[in-house]
Chain A
Amino acid sequence: MTAAVLVGVLVAGAVFLIVQRGLVRIALGLIMLGHAANLVLLAAGGMYRREAPLIDQIAAVQTAADPLPQAFVLTAIVIAFGVTVYLVALAGAGTGDDTEESQ
């Protein structure tokens, strides 16, 4: 439930920021959206299973965390990080923020 509420808040904030004009705000919004998606991924693995999933150390498979969503999240974080850096570079390299209607 906590995760669901948190995802909802993050997505709402992200959408609010993405529809703004300035690219830095859009970048922040997209970071938040990425966090929301990552949280959904983590929640998909089950929030209450938190033991380290090492084969020779776990007592019961039921309490071990699902390692797959964690690997997914790690990949997704790296991708989101790379793109965010590019987006911020784009904001810095352009002719100021695109705050006026072009044409």
Chain B
Amino acid sequence: MIATALPFAAAVPLLMGTLLLVLRSPVWLRRTITLGTSTLVLGYAGLLILVTRGGAVLAHPLGLWETSPGEPVVAIPFAADMFSALMLAVTALLTLLCVAYGMVAGDDEQHYFQPMVLMLLAGVSGVVLTADLFNLFVFIEVMLLPSYVLMSMLGGGHRLRAGRLYVTYNLFASGVLLAGVAFVYGVAGTVNFAELAGAGQESTAVAVAAGVLMVALGMKAAVVPVHGWLSNTYPDTSPALSALFSGLHTKVAIYAIYRLYALIYGGDDRFLGVAVAIMVATMVIGVLGAVGESTMRSILTLHMVSQIGYILLGLALFGPLGLAAGIFYLLHNTVVKGALFLATGAVEQTYGTQRVYDLGGVARKEPLVAFAFVGAALALTGIPPFSGFAAKYLLLHASISAEQYGAAVAIVLVSLFTLLSMIKIWSNVFWGPLKREPESHPGGDTETSGTEADSSTAMATGNGSLLQRGTTRTHARAGAPLTHVRLAMIIPALVLTLLALGIGLGAQGLLVLTQEAASGLIDTSTYVEAVIGQ
């Protein structure tokens, strides 16, 4: 029953998104559908976590084509193990909170905001639950298409430029991914995850073909040296979307890298040296870039690059320790990054700028935002009792056990630089004298108001509703002058920060789950049996 519902985790958000495209009013119904669907997926993911405890794998063959007995069956397999379930839970939670934030911040005045976010969620569910390489490609496209629209629709004055870069880059990466799928099919003769298990160890041709897949997924995950697009696109969209994309896009690519690397290569340690070197470079270059930036979201975006290095370092180390640490880091980072983007986004959209030097003294005026930010920042740096401490400790432990001392040193040093750039936001934005009062129109960024007016008039003549942005839009409650960040805008970030604190205090509980997820990746026999044996 629960297994039969696997494809619906992707189908229901997709259908609801389509419904919202045509359902224009009432607003409360649209919001209820969006929040309800995200909650439903979250609930289903929770159920999956319960069911997959103890290493069970659920699988459902969609469109099962019965052949004569004894012959292999033909189907589109969906499967869920602990890793998929955890990933689905954290992405659904982030979607729920980001979409709630978007409703408060005014993103959903754009008719396409909610349907596109639901379709994005559908793509994410599909990617984490599929057990078929070509389906993985299709669902990655399903996930990317709405984000192309969202990227060009919401955000500051440079959002069209950012949208172009984003679409071009991701299409290129998708082309490489598709070619990679073709190569794998050509040499292995199958795209079924179960049949591909261990194929990279047996045949060099499959290893090389899957290498193309790894490169394409690495491009989507923003691994150094292909990380430049991330910091050129994410800061230009709206804060709700920055948070959403940070948790969904790169993290889902990381999920796919974990899944495929573990399945196809089976932890072959010939790749250990290269992988560790690339990931350490990613960690170092990302954080050095972040220290030099001067807007809140550019700092956070470049941090993402650095954190991606951390997460994939766990995979590079492989083994039960490394994988459990990496998956723990992945979950922790999704939560914390969302909290940081939403907390700084609340400041940005209330005070009208994201440049750190134009802001000041926000902590005294907005203690709740300051708490949400500082909690998440400490978690990102790795200071107890927040979640980052456990995540970094596990990773450090794993790299020392694997005798990768260089990586261990990098983990500690990069943390110091992380702290440095977090202090840069903290001391400029939250500390010191108050430099700026809240704007009367939440949601606008005065920083780019000149270019924004230009582009929106130019666009109003073009394809109206899709790309038009309301510089003149008024929020429901914008009539009253705003003196503080509205409480509803803080709550999503606060929930995530408290969750990070909870993960930090109860690290043992999550660690047990990530260890189960890791053992499912190392010993793929249960997964293979579940997928093939239907």
Contacts and interface: CB of A to CB of B under 8 A. Distances in A.
Contacts, number: 99
Contacts of A76: 137, 178
A18 B168 contact: yes
A30 B175 CA distance: 8
B160 interface: yes
B463 A75 contact: no
Nearest to B171: A30
Among A44, A45, A83, chain B packs the most CB atoms within 10 A around the CB of A44
B21 to A, nearest CB: 15
B50 to A, nearest CB: 34
Contact of A95 (B160, B179, B183): B160
Interface string B64-75: 000000000000
A37 B174 CA distance: 10
Q: Tell me the dominant secondary structure on chain A's binding face.
A: helix
Given A87-B167, A93-B462, A93-B467, A37 B175 contact: yes
B299 to A, nearest CB: 18
A98 B164 contact: yes
A72 B136 CA distance: 12
Nearest to A18: B172
A93 B181 contact: no
A: interface residue count bin: 20 to 34
A44 B141 CA distance: 21
Q: Tell me the dominant secondary structure on chain B's binding face.
A: helix
A77 to B, nearest CB: 11
A65 interface: no
Interface stretch (B10-18, B145-153, B315-323, B397-405): B145-153
A76 B181 CA distance: 11
A79 B455 CA distance: 29
A38 B179 CA distance: 8
Given A18-B168, A30-B175, A94-B160, A86 B467 contact: no
Nearest to A34: B175
A6 interface: no
Contacts of B137: 76
A33 B175 contact: yes
B499 interface: no
Given A34-B175, A76-B178, A90-B167, A102 B161 contact: yes
B185 A44 contact: yes
Contacts of A36: 175, 179
Contact of B186 (A14, A43, A95): A43
Interface string B446-479: 0000000011001100110011000000000000
4 A-B pairs with least C-beta separation? A44-B186, A93-B462, A40-B182, A37-B178
Given A34-B178, A94-B164, 18 more contacts: A33-B175, A36-B175, A36-B179, A37-B178, A40-B178, A43-B182, A69-B182, A72-B181, A75-B138, A79-B138, A82-B145, A83-B141, A83-B148, A86-B149, A92-B463, A95-B455, A95-B458, A95-B459
